[in-house]
C-alpha cells in the first residue's frame, strides 16, 4: 500500500513539473504572460522529487555508494552492510532533526512559496524524507530481526548527542571523520558520507547543524535545476520505447558497411542515449544485453566487445542535453550554452577514438558488415525521424529564445511522451508510463539527495575559506600553468574514480574554479577539462563506477573488465591531455559563434 502511494505521488509530481513549464511557455507566447507563481512551484517540486526519489531509491537499495564492498570476502559483507546501514541511518536521523528545526523556524516566520502554500509545508518533505530513509536503511541492513536491531542501535548516536550538547565537538571531529571515511570505503551511501561530514564540521565550529538542511533547501532556489529531472524523465521514456531499435537500424544502415561498422554503430547509439538519460550506467544496464550478443555474433571478440560497450556507455556526457554540463554551468556560474558549444569538438573526438579502435578490432577479427543500400538507409532514417529531430527541437527552443532551459526540458518530456505513446505506440500510458516514471524518480533521488547534502558540505568549505587556502597553497608550489593543468588532471581522475559526477561538481568545482582564474584558464575550457576527466573517472580502476556496472551486467570478473577497457582507457587519456593543452579544441567554436 505504501509503495503504491509513493509511486502514484512520484508520477503526479513529475507530471505537474512537466506541465507547468509548458503552460508557462504557451501563456507567454499566446497571451504575453505566463502563470503567476509557476516557477517557484516547479523549483520546490524539484526538492520534493529529490526526497521522494531518495525514499524510492532506499526502498530498492539503490542509494549511490562506492562499489568497494565487492572486494570484501563474502563472510565480511553481511556485517559490513549492517555497519554502514547503521551509520547511514544515524546520520539520516541527525539530518531529520536538523531539518525539523528548520521547519519550525520557517513556520514561525510565516513565509509563502506561491499560491498560498507556506514555506514550512514545502520544507516538510525534508524531515519526512530523512526519516523514511533512516527507517529503510535499518530494514535493509539485514534479513533477520537481530541484524536489524543491531543496526537500529546506532540511533543512540543522535540521542546521545542531543542529551549531552556539552560534548567536546572539536575532540570528536577527527575520529568522526575517520569513521565516516572508513564507512564510505565499505559502502556507506554517499549522501550520508557528505551529510555526516557537513554536520560534524559545522558542529565543531559551533554553528547550528540546521545550516546543512538550510543549504539543502537551496535545491528549491536554483532556477535551472528543475531541468535535470525533466531531461532525465524524457530520456527514460525514449530509452524504454522503441527509440533504441530505430536508431540502431538507422546507424547500421548508414555506417554498418564500413570495416568494423557494428562497433561504430554501438558507439554512436550509446553516446546518443547517455546525455538523454543523464547517467552513463543506465545505457550499459539497459542496452548492454542487446549490443554484446550482436557484436559477438557478428564476429567481434568478446573481450573487445565488453570493453567497447563499457566505454561507449561512459562517453557522450559533453553533448546536449547532458545533465552534468547543466549542473556544472549552474555551480560554476559559467554560461551553459557556451559549455555545450565548447563540448562539441571534444565530445566528437572521444566518440571517434572509441569508435575507431572498436572498428579496427572488428576489422582485425574479420567481423561481418552490413551492405549499404540507399533504400534501407532512407527507410531507416524516415522511421527514426522523430527521435533524430529531438536534439534539434531542444536546441532551437533554447538558442532561438523560445524556451528557457527548464521549459525546453519539459518540452522534451512532452515530445518523448507523444512520440513513444501516440506516434509509434511503443508504450502504453496505463501499463508502461507509471513504471518508467517511478524508475526515473528512483534514479533522480539517488543523486539529487547527494546534491542536497553536498550543498551543505560545500557551504562549510566556503565558510572555512578552504578554496582560498587551496589556491594560496597551489600558487606557492606551482608556477607554470602547464604543470598546474597536469596536476589538475591527475587530481580530477582520482576524484572521478572515487566520487559520482554530480557530487563532485558541487564539492570540487568551488575548489578549482578560483585556481583556473588565477592561472588564466578560460572558464569554459576549465569546465570541459573537468567534465572529460569525470567521464574518464567512470572507467578508472579499481573503483570506476561503470566498471562495476559492466561486471554486474555481463557477469564477468572485475579483472576481466579492467583488461577489456584498458586499451580504450589509454586512448582516452591521450585525448584528455590533447583537449587540456590545446584550448582551441574547446574554444574555437565558442569564439566563432560568439560569447
Residue with cell 555551480: 331
Q: How many CA atoms lie within 13 A of 484 on its CB side?
A: 22
The per-residue pLDDT for 166 is 55
The per-residue pLDDT for 507 is 80
The per-residue pLDDT for 112 is 87
DSSP label at 514? Answer: H
Rounded Cα distance, 102 and 122, in Å: 12
User: SS3 of 541, please?
Assistant: coil
The per-residue pLDDT for 10 is 92
The per-residue pLDDT for 327 is 83
What are the backbone angles phi and psi of residue 117, rounded to the nearest 5°? -85, 120
Rounded Cα distance, 447 and 348, in Å: 27
The per-residue pLDDT for 167 is 59
Q: Which of 263, 487, 256 is nearest to 357 (CA)?
A: 263
**In the numeric block, which cell numbers belong to residue 243?**
527509440
The per-residue pLDDT for 584 is 94
What are the backbone angles phi and psi of residue 96, rounded to the nearest 5°? -60, -45
Mean pLDDT per 10-residue section of the chain, whose length is 595 residues: 88 93 86 82 91 93 76 82 93 92 88 88 93 94 90 81 58 85 88 90 83 83 80 84 84 86 86 69 66 82 86 82 84 88 92 91 82 90 89 77 84 92 91 91 84 83 78 82 90 79 81 88 94 85 72 75 88 94 93 74
The per-residue pLDDT for 438 is 92
Query: What residues contact 507, with CB distance under 8 A and at least 6 apart?
Result: 194, 454, 457, 458, 461, 499
Q: Which of 265, 192, 273 is nearest to 236 (CA)?
A: 273
The per-residue pLDDT for 168 is 58
Is the separation of the CB atoms in 542 and 551 below 8 Å? Answer: no
Rounded Cα distance, 238 and 287, in Å: 13
**In the numeric block, which cell numbers belong to residue 341?**
558549444
Residue with cell 505513446: 421
The per-residue pLDDT for 393 is 80
Rounded Cα distance, 88 and 270, in Å: 34
The per-residue pLDDT for 595 is 59
Query: What residues contact 554, with CB distance under 8 A and at least 6 apart?
Result: 288, 292, 306, 561
Tell me whether residue 478 is exposed, middle or buried, using C-beta atoms within 10 angstroms of its C-beta: 0 to 12, 13 to 18, 19 or more.
Answer: middle
Q: Where are the domains of the chain?
A: 2-221
The per-residue pLDDT for 459 is 82
Neighbours of 467 (CB within 10 A): 18
Within its chain, how far is the Cα of 484 from the centroid? 27
Neighbours of 414 (CB within 10 A): 17
Q: What is the largest CA-CA distance in the chain?
A: 79
Is the separation of the CB atoms in 102 and 217 below 8 Å? Answer: yes
DSSP label at 113? Answer: E
What stretch of H or E contains 23? helix 2-31
Query: What residues contact 43, with CB distance under 8 A and at least 6 apart?
Result: 220, 221, 222, 223, 225, 226
Q: Which of 396, 503, 409 is nearest to 448 (CA)?
A: 503
Rounded Cα distance, 342 and 587, in Å: 6
Residue with cell 567554436: 589
**In the numeric block, which cell numbers belong to residue 344?**
562539441
The per-residue pLDDT for 85 is 93
Question: Helices then strands (H, E): number in the chain?
Answer: 29, 2
**In the numeric block, which cell numbers belong to residue 486?**
597536469
Q: Which of 538, 502, 525 is nearest to 316 (CA)?
A: 538
Amino acid at each position: 500500500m505504501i509503495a503504491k502511494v509513493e509511486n502514484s505521488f512520484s508520477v503526479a509530481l513529475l507530471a505537474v513539473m512537466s506541465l507547468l513549464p509548458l503552460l508557462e511557455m504557451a501563456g507567454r507566447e499566446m497571451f504575453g504572460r505566463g502563470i503567476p507563481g509557476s516557477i517557484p512551484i516547479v523549483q520546490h517540486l524539484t526538492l520534493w522529487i529529490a526526497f521522494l526519489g531518495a525514499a524510492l531509491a532506499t526502498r530498492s537499495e539503490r542509494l549511490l555508494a562506492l562499489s568497494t564492498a565487492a572486494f570484501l570476502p563474502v563472510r565480511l559483507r553481511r556485517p559490513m552492510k549492517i555497519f554502514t546501514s547503521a551509520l547511514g541511518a544515524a546520520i539520516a536521523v541527525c539530518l531529520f532533526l536538523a531539518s525539523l528545526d528548520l521547519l519550525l523556524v520557517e513556520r514561525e516566520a510565516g513565509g509563502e512559496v506561491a499560491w498560498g502554500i507556506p514555506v514550512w509545508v514545502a520544507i516538510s518533505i525534508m524531515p519526512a524524507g530523512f526519516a523514511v530513509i533512516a527507517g529503510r536503511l535499518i530494514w535493509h541492513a539485514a534479513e533477520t530481526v537481530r541484524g536489524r536491531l543491531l543496526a537500529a542501535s546506532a540511533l543512540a548516536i543522535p540521542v546521545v548527542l542531543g542529551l549531552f550538547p556539552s560534548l567536546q565537538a572539536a575532540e570528536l571531529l577527527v575520529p568522526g571523520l575517520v569513521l565516516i571515511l572508513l564507512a564510505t570505503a565499505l559502502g556507506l551511501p554517499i549522501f550520508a558520507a557528505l551529510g555526516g561530514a557537513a554536520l560534524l564540521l559545522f558542529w565543531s565550529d559551533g554553528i547550528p547543524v540546521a545550516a546543512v538542511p538550510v543549504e539543502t533547501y537551496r535545491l528549491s532556489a536554483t532556477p535551472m535545476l528543475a531541468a535535470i529531472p525533466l531531461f532525465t524523465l524524457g530520456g527514460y521514456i525514449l530509452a524504454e520505447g522503441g527509440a533504441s531499435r530505430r536508431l540502431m537500424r538507422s546507424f547500421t544502415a548508414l555506417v554498418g558497411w564500413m570495416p568494423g561498422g557494428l562497433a561504430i554503430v554501438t558507439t554512436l547509439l550509446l553516446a546518443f542515449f547517455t546525455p538523454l538519460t543523464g547517467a552513463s550506467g543506465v545505457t550499459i544496464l539497459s542496452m548492454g544485453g542487446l549490443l554484446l550478443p550482436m557484436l559477438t555474433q557478428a564476429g567481434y571478440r568478446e573481450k573487445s566487445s565488453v570493453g567497447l560497450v563499457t566505454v561507449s556507455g561512459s562517453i557522450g556526457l559533453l553533448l546536449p542535453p547532458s545533465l552534468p554540463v547543466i549542473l556544472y554551468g549552474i555551480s560554476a556560474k559559467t554560461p551553459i550554452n557556451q559549455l555545450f558549444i565548447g563540448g562539441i569538438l571534444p565530445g566528437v573526438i572521444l566518440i571517434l577514438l572509441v569508435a575507431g579502435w572498436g572498428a579496427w578490432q572488428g576489422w582485425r577479427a574479420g567481423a561481418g558488415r552490413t551492405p549499404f543500400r540507399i533504400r534501407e538507409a532512407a527507410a531507416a532514417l524516415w522511421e527514426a525521424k522523430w527521435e533524430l529531430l529531438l536534439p534539434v527541437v531542444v536546441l532551437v527552443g533554447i538558442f532561438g529564445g523560445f524556451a528557457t532551459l527548464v521549459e525546453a526540458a519539459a518540452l522534451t518530456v512532452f515530445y518523448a511522451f507523444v512520440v513513444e505513446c501516440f506516434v509509434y505506440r511503443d508504450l502504453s500510458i496505463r501499463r508502461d508510463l507509471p513504471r518508467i516514471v517511478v524508475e526515473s524518480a528512483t534514479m533522480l533521488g539517488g543523486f539529487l539527495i547527494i546534491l542536497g547534502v553536498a550543498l551543505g558540505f560545500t557551504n562549510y568549505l566556503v565558510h572555512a575559506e578552504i578554496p582560498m587556502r587551496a589556491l594560496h597553497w597551489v600558487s606557492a608550489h606551482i608556477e607554470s600553468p602547464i604543470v598546474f593543468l597536469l596536476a589538475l588532471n591527475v587530481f580530477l581522475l582520482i576524484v572521478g574514480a572515487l566520487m559520482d559526477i554530480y557530487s563532485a561538481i558541487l564539492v570540487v568545482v568551488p575548489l578549482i574554479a578560483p585556481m583556473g582564474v588565477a592561472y588564466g584558464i578560460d572558464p569554459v575550457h576549465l569546465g570541459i577539462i573537468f567534465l572529460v576527466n569525470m567521464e574518464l573517472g567512470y572507467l578508472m580502476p579499481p573503483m570506476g563506477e561503470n566498471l562495476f556496472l559492466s561486471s554486474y551486467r555481463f557477469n564477468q570478473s572485475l579483472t576481466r573488465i579492467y583488461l577489456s577497457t584498458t586499451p580504450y582507457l589509454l586512448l582516452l587519456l591521450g585525448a584528455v591531455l590533447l583537449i587540456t593543452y590545446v584550448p582551441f579544441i574547446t574554444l574555437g567554436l565558442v569564439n566563432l559563434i560568439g560569447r
